[in-house]
Amino acid sequence: MSKTIISLKDVDYAYEKKPVLTNINFDIPQGAFMGLVGPNGGGKTTLIKLILGLLKPDNGSVSLFDEPIGKFKNWNHIGFVSQKSNTFNKGFPATVFEVVSMGLTARIGYLKFFTKKDKAKVSQAINQVGMSDYAHQNIGNLSGGQQQRVFIARSLVNDPKLLILDEPTVGVDNENVQRFYELLHQLNQERNITLLLVTHDTGIMTEHATDIVCLNKTLYFHGDPAEYSSLTKQDLSHFYGHPINLVTHDH
Ligand code: ADP
C-alpha cells in the first residue's frame, strides 16, 4: 500500500482568535506533485508551518508519513526550499560545493570532517541539479535560478522523500523557471520525491503538477490539472475574492 505523505484532518488555525484556516482536509499520496495556490493572505504559509510542526492546529490533526506529527521523528526526510533561500548576500564567501555540504552538517555535526562518501554525495547532488560546472564558484555570483538549484541540491544530500517549496521561483527569469520546473519534474519522476509547491504561477504548474489545491482560508478546490483548467473565470473570481484573468501557457 502506498504511503500518505501528508494528511490533514479537520484542521483549524487562528492567530489570536483571528481564524486563518478553517476545516482543512486533504491527503498527499506518495509520488504526488502537489501545487498549492491561493491569494496573498489565504493561509498558505500558515499551512506549511503546520505541516512542518512549527505551529500546532487549534483543532484537527496533521500526520506525516502515516504518523501523527507529534510522534514523527524522521525530519531529515523532509526538505524545504523557500523564495528567501536565494536572498544571499552577494559577497557571501561560500562556494556551491560548500553550500550543498551544509545540508549534511545538520546530520553529521558542524565542522566535522566529511568522509569521501559524504563528498561524493555532495557532488552527486550538484550533478543532479545540473550545476557541476559551477561547483567551485561563489554562490553569490550565480543567478537567482541557479541559486535555487543549489538549494535544491542542499536538500537532496539528505535523500528527502518530501520536498516543500515555498514560491521558489520568485525573482527567477522565465527561461530558468522552465528549467527549474523540469528539474522538479525529474526529481518527482526519477527519484519518487513527493513535492508540495506553493506558487502563483498556475499556468506552468498545470503542466507539471498531479494535484492542485486552492486555499483561501478554507479549501476551495482539490483536483487534477484538467479539473483545475475547467474552472470558469467566475469560479476563480469567487475563490480569489476579486475578478481574475486566467493565465494559461501555450505548449
Ligand atoms: P499566505 O502565505 O497565503 O500569504 P499567510 O499564512 O502568510 O498567507 O497569512 C494568512 C493570514 O494570517 C493573513 O491575514 C496574515 O496577515 C495572518 N498572519 C500571518 N502570520 C501571522 C502572525 N504571526 N500573527 C498574526 N497574524 C498572522
> Which CATH number is 5's domain given?
3.40.50.300
Q: Which domain holds residue 233?
A: 220-251
Same domain, yes or no, for 105 and 123?
yes
173 shares a domain with 89 = yes
- What is the total count of domains within the chain? 3
DSSP-assigned letter for residue 193 = -
Give yes or no for residue 111 having a pLDDT over 60.
no
Whether residue 47 is found in the same domain as residue 121: no
**Residues 68 and 82 grouped into a single domain:** no
Q: Are residues 62 and 91 in the same domain?
A: no
Does the residue 94 lie in any domain?
yes
Helix (H, G, I), strand (E, B) or coil at 198: strand
Report the separation in Å between the CA atom of 182 and the middle of ligand 1, taken as the mean of its atom positions: 31
14 CA distance to ligand 1 middle (Å): 9
Nearest CA to ligand 1 atom 21: 15
Residues touching ligand 1 (Cβ under 6 Å) are 15, 20, 38, 40-46
Q: What is the 3-state secondary structure (H, E, C) of 46-112?
A: HHHHHHCCCCCCCEEEEEECCEEHHHCCCHHHEEEEEHHHHCCCCCCCCEHHHHHHHHHHHHHCCCC
**What would the grid cell of residue 207 be?**
503542466
Of the pLDDT bands very low, low, confident and very high (cuts 50, 70, 90), residue 110 is low
**DSSP reduced 3-state for 189:** helix
Q: Nearest C-alpha to atom 13 of ligand 1 is from which residue?
A: 41
Q: Between 249 and 37, where is the model more confident?
A: 37
Residue corresponding to grid cell 500526520: 63
Specify if 61 maps to a domain: yes
Only one residue has cell 469560479, namely 235
**pTM given for the model:** 0.88
From the CA of 18, how far away is ligand 1's center (Å)? 10
Measured CA to CA, the distance from residue 169 to residue 176 in angstroms comes to 9
Give tens-digit pLDDT for 121-138.
Answer: 999 999 999 999 999 999
Same domain assignment for residues 12 and 65: yes
- Which of 24, 45, 50, 197 to mutate to test ligand 1, by most ligand atoms within 8 A of the CB atom? 45
